[in-house]
Every structure is written in C-alpha cells, then in structure tokens.
Amino acid sequence: MTEKFDAIVVGAGPAGNAAAYTLASAGLKVLQLERGETPGTKNVQGAILYSDALERIIPDFRNEAPLERHIIEQRMWVLDDDSAIGTSYRSEAFSSDRPNRYTILRAPFDRWFSEKVRAAGALVICETTVTELLQEGGRVVGVRTDREEGDIYADVVILADGVNSLLARKAGFHGELDPRNVALAVKEIHFLPEETLQGRFNIKGSEGVVIEIAGAVTHGMVGTAFLYTNRESITLGIGCLLSDFKKTRVPPYALLEELKQHPAIAPLIEGGEMKEYAAHLIPEGGYKAIPKLYGEGWMIVGDSAGLVNAAHREGSNLAMTSGRIAAETVIALHGKGLPCSQENLAVYRAALDESFVMKDLKKYRELPEVLHGNPHFFSVYPKLFNRAAHTMLTVDGEDKHSKEKTVRRSFVEQRSLLGLMGDAYRMWRATR
C-alpha cells in the first residue's frame, strides 16, 4: 500500500484520541489505529475525568459526553483492620455550571470521544494491531499492521499504545517495564438504584463522591484503593506495585474481596449487583522513569510515556494534555513545512516541561523511591493513626493528658523519635 498520512496515531485511549482529534481538527490527514473491536473495549480506568484537560481540546464536551456524576466531595480514609480515620472536603462550588471533575465509564466515554475524532476527519481503523514501526535510516516512516498489505506510511507516528507500549519497546525506544514502576489495579462495578446511592452518599442529582483509601487493606504493600460513585453504580478498586505483589504473593482479587468486606466499605456497596471486573497496569514510576519521549519521526504520549501522577491519582488528564501538545507540535511543523525530525520534535518535550504535566511529575520525583524504602508508611502509620483516634475518642475516665501520653508513646515505640523525624523529612522531600 502506498497511501501516506501526515500522522499516524497508534491507540484510541485518552492520549491517542486527544492527539488524533487535535491533528484532524487542524486539517491534517490522520490515521488512527486501534486494536479493540471499537474504541474503549480494551481501555480500563477508575475512572475520573478532569475537565480542564478535555476542555482545552473540546470546550463544550459537557453538552455531549457521557458523564456519570460531578464530584462535589472527596474523602480520604486510612483504614486499619476494622476502623477508618479520615478527612473530607465538600463544596457547593464544585456544583458550578462547569464542574471540575466527573466520574465516567470508559466504554461509553471512549466511544463518544472516538466519534468526535471521526467527525473531525480522522480515519479511525479498529480491530487492527500495529506490529512494529517501519524505520528507514534510523527514522520512523510508518507502521506495519497485522493485516495483509498493511504497511502504512506517515510523516510522524504518535505512540499512544498504552502502559506496555510494546511498540516502543520493540523499536528499542525504551526497555522492559520495571515491576517497581508499575502498579497492578483491579476494580469492580456494582450496580445500585440511584436513590439508594444518593441516600448512602448524601448527594442529590448528579452530585458525586470520591473516596481515596489507604492502609491495612494493602497488606503493607505500596498501594491505595478507591471508591467512585457513578450514576447508578459504584466503582471500587485497589492497586499496589507489581513488585510488592510479587513479593507478598497476595492475589489482587483477594485484596479487593477484603476491601469489600471492610466494615467501613461493606455497607456502602451492600445489595449492589456486580456487573464488571477489570484489571489494568498503571505506570507509577514517575518523573525518573519517563523514557525518551520523541525521536526521528516519532513521539510517545500518555501511559506509554509513563505520564501518571500517582500521588494525586491523575493520569487521563496528563494523557490528554500530552496528546494535545504532541499534536500541536506536529501542526506547527506542518504549517511551516518542516520535517518531524528529532531536532524539530524537541518542542514537544519543551512544551510538556512548561506544562503542569512535567512540573507535577518533577515535584514528586523522589516519591516512588521514598515509598519503596519506607514500607511502614503503608503498614505502621495507618495502625498508629487509627489507634490514636480510638484512644482519644474513647471516654473512659482516663484524663486527656494521660491519653495523649499513651498516643505519643505508641508512636515513639513503633518508630523511635529519630525515625519519626526521618519519616517527616522523607515525606517532605518526596513531595516538595
């Protein structure tokens, strides 16, 4: 086949769709290839949609996109075996006419996004796997697919093929994923009548609640859990680093089962009908694990590029933003008649560095290492905090001064004074 495109986008997730939509809207000749039967069938996310990133691509998305609930309240819980301590923030301001975050279900959302890509003029071909990148003289010139006569050429190939990015690995752009840099997350969707859901979470209309969870449920592994309210369902999931799963040999589904039985969680999902189970890898290596993002005739975006802010559970917004910026880079070069050479594509990395994407990842660059080195953050502290709360909130004739002493002693016994100070320093350093 001799057909040539201005750009080929591999993958139809948030990053790929953002790139393909932006390119096609600017009038470029775009081919998007997706291995799933339809866009969305292979894609897994929690899922929270951050409005800002999408708004910069499709400003009026709220009128058309299939959204579940807009988030007005975020709770953070730290669990012990049968207790939970936590904080929450709730605000009516999040119910403005332009809410900041939504829960979504990826299957319908991705279908919608892909329709927008098609309508913008991109050629979207599904059920087609890109098997390798075509290279000539060290330059990527196109892709080879699993179909007959399946070589297709383009000025630039944007890799949005997901966390594993087999293509980038095969082409030697980055190495094998380090299990310390990837989380394995599992989730279930439980259906509940809308009124039940609203009652349980103290919400009305399309308001929604997010609960981020850490503590005993991860068995001391580096990881967290989450509970999201959808329109008529609850998404409940848990994820830990792959390297920790390997060490503990705890099966992920067992963690999820324990989470569902926790006394703080069980009443929230009671009576729900489980409709969906999914598992996915999340690149959580952060700034230091980011591979080379561009080269001669290629760029890499989204999960494939490891652009996930694990500390804030943001990923799809980084994906969309990187896809958009990659596309804008190509559009600018195309407009000037310049080739998509490594030198010219450096603009992509520079623009990413200037955006919240790299600034945020850089801020937390030490976090993965600190968490690896301090497993007690996920085992010792949740217990200590829960017990402290229990001590202080139990009225039993003991005076408050003595209670405080008991609490202090429990901390010092577990971590020593120096240990506590070290932990505080390490957390500060990891998140400054």
| Residues binding other proteins (CB under 8 A) | 1, 3, 37, 123-125, 128, 145, 147-152
Least distance from other proteins to the Cβ atom of residue 35, Å: 13
Question: Would you say the C-alpha torsion 174, 179, 181, 184 has a positive or negative sign?
Answer: positive
Nearer to other proteins, 194 or 354 (CB): 194
- Closest separation between CB of residue 8 and other proteins, Å? 12
CB of 158 to other proteins, least distance (A): 19
Q: Specify the residue, 103 or 243, whose C-beta has the smaller distance to other proteins.
A: 103
| Whole-angstrom distance, CA of residue 267 vs CA of residue 262 | 9
Q: Minimum Å distance from CB 194 to other proteins?
A: 15
CB-nearer residue toward other proteins: 3 or 343:
3
| DSSP secondary structure letters along 221-290 | SSEEEEEEE-SSEEEEEEEEEHHHHHHH---HHHHHHHHHHSTTTHHHHTTPEEEEEEEEEEE---GGG-
Q: What count of Cα atoms within 13 Å lies in the side-chain half-sphere of residue 187?
A: 24
When the beta carbons of 2 and 87 are compared against other proteins, the nearer one is: 2
Question: Per-residue b/e over 305-322, b at no fewer than 16 CB within 10 Å?
Answer: bbbbbbbeebbbbbbbbb
* Dihedral (CA of 258, 180, 226, 275) sign: negative
Alpha carbon distance 18, 146 (integer Å): 24
Least separation in angstroms between CB 116 and other proteins: 16
Question: Cα dihedral sign for 42, 44, 49, 55?
Answer: negative
Which residues, at least 6 apart from 146, have a Cβ–Cβ distance to it below 8 Å? 128, 129, 130, 131
Whole-number minimum distance, CB 151 to other proteins, in Å?
A: 8
Closest CA to 285 of 183, 216, 381, 358: 183
Give first-to-last CA distance, the chain, whole Å.
52
Q: Which residues touch 350 (CB under 8 Å, ≥6 apart)?
A: none
Beta carbon nearer to other proteins, 150 or 375: 150
Q: How many whole angstroms separate alpha carbon 24 and alpha carbon 375?
A: 47
Q: Minimum CB separation from other proteins for residue 37, in Å?
A: 8
**Which C-beta is closer to other proteins: that of 149 or that of 176?**
149
Please answer whether residues 38 and 342 qualify as being in contact, where contact means their C-beta atoms are separated by less than 8 angstroms: no
What minimum distance in Å lies between the beta carbon of 127 and other proteins? 8
Strand blocks (E) in 257-376: 273-283, 294-295, 298-300
Residue whose CB is less far from other proteins, 149 or 195:
149
Nearer to other proteins, 110 or 258 (CB): 110
Contact 286, 312 (CB under 8 A): no
Closest CB 28 distance from other proteins, rounded Å: 17
The amino acid at residue 371 is L
Measured from the CB atom, the residue of 54 and 105 that comes closer to other proteins is: 105
Distance in angstroms (rounded) separating the CA atoms of residues 343 and 414: 54
If the CB atoms of residues 30 and 268 are measured against other proteins, the closer one turns out to be: 30
CB of 180 to other proteins, least distance (A): 38
Nearest to 221 by CA among 237, 246, 240, 242: 240
